[in-house]
């Protein structure tokens, strides 16, 4: 679970190259919602493209304000963060719950995102 935690710390600090190196070749990344960044992304390249699109959409303002809690198991980790972003005169602040699963090589194999307020996320990410 070391790589799962490090993935988040690198992702939130925009150390994207290292974050992507911690992903399984078969990683699946699921982002819910009714917006252009929602979807299911397969493989490290699609995950990298999604994260880059989020950074671009928010004009580099996506920022983790607080890591609220970490719940670590043998093959799973849940991380609760409070984050904010801005774009085109809109500000988003909210909690996100991430559920990650690691494979036998300790590479991140599954990522699921849950928004505290899906409607607010959808309105921000139109």
Give me the helices (H) in 58-117, please: none
Q: Is 59 a residue whose pLDDT tops 70?
A: yes
Other beta carbons within 10 Å of 28: 17
* pTM beyond 0.85: yes
- Domains of the chain and CATH, by start: 2-124 (3.10.450.50)
**pLDDT tier, 13 (very low <50, low <70, confident <90, very high otherwise):** low
Q: What percent of the chain has pLDDT over 90?
A: 65
């Amino acid at each position: 679970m070391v790589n799962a935690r490090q993935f988040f710390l690198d992702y939130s600090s925009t150390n994207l190259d290292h974050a992507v190196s911690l992903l399984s070749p078969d990683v699946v990344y699921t982002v819910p919602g009714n917006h252009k960044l929602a979807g299911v992304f397969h493989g490290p390249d699609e995950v990298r493209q999604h994260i880059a699109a989020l950074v671009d959409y928010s004009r580099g303002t996506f920022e983790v304000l607080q890591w609220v809690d970490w719940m670590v198991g043998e093959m799973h980790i849940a991380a609760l963060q409070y984050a904010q972003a801005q774009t085109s005169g809109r500000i988003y602040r909210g909690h996100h719950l991430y559920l990650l699963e690691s494979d036998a090589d300790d590479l991140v194999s599954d990522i699921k995102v849950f928004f505290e307020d899906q409607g607010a996320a959808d309105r921000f990410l139109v």
